[in-house]
Amino acid sequence: MDMALTFLADMLMVAAALGAAVYCFVLSRRVSNLNSIDKGLGGAIAVLSAQVDDMNRVLEATKSDSDIAAARMESLTHQARGIADNLETMIAACHDLADPVLAPGPALRGDDTITTKIDDLDLADDETQDSSQSAAIPTPLFSTPAPQLTEQDTQEHPTLCHADAEIAEAQQ
């Protein structure tokens, strides 16, 4: 019986050694595949590196487009502030020139219902109004047009061309 137990122990040792050898063989193949440039981790790192380079180029292009758009927006904001100052001056001048007209308003009766109080209006001024004034061409509201993009700007940054095309269509 001693001999059978030693033989069984030896067989288990041989089986364990063969199992370890197979495990080492499989592990070495996996490590070599992992380091392969085409299939493994090396390939994944190469693909990710290329994608990072592409994203950096796109980011730089977007940054330059946004810088141009910000400069254009700043110019338009400055122009709008100037126009707003002009409008404030015009409104102040209109308030100084025009006499306030008091229109007849609603009057309250004793039972809190609103009735319209009609005053006699002088219509003589309206009838003598010159017809040439109503046919006059209105002056433009803005004194200077918005800055237009140059040909170089449209070639370098095609995304800005779409906004100008939409503005031109809206103006027509």
Per-residue pLDDT for the chain (172 aa), expressed as one digit of tens each?
Answer: 788 889 999 999 999 999 999 999 999 988 887 777 667 777 778 889 999 999 999 999 999 999 999 999 999 999 999 999 999 998 888 877 756 555 565 555 555 555 444 444 444 444 444 444 444 555 555 555 556 667 776 666 666 555 556 666 666 6
What pLDDT does residue 95 have? 76
Cα 101 from Cα 94, distance rounded (Å):
14
What is the pLDDT at residue 147? 60
pLDDT of res. 110: 55
DSSP letter for 111, please: T
CA angle 74-80-86, nearest 5°? Answer: 145
Q: Which tokens in the block code for residue 162?
A: 């779409």
Q: What pLDDT score does 144 carry?
A: 57
Q: Are 136 and 129 in contact (CB under 8 A)?
A: no
Segments in 98-136 forming alpha helices (H): 124-127, 131-134
**Do the Cβ atoms of 39 and 33 come closer than 8 Å?**
yes
Task: Check if the beta carbon of residue 148 is closer than 8 Å to that of residue 164.
Answer: yes
The confidence score (pLDDT) of residue 1 equals: 79
Residues 67, 148: Cα–Cα separation, whole Å: 16
Please compute, for residue 64, the number of CA atoms within 13 A of its CA located in the half-sphere on the CB side. Answer: 11
Per the listing, tokens 């006699």 go with 120
Which residue carries 């033989």 as its tokens? 7
Side chain identity, residue 164: D
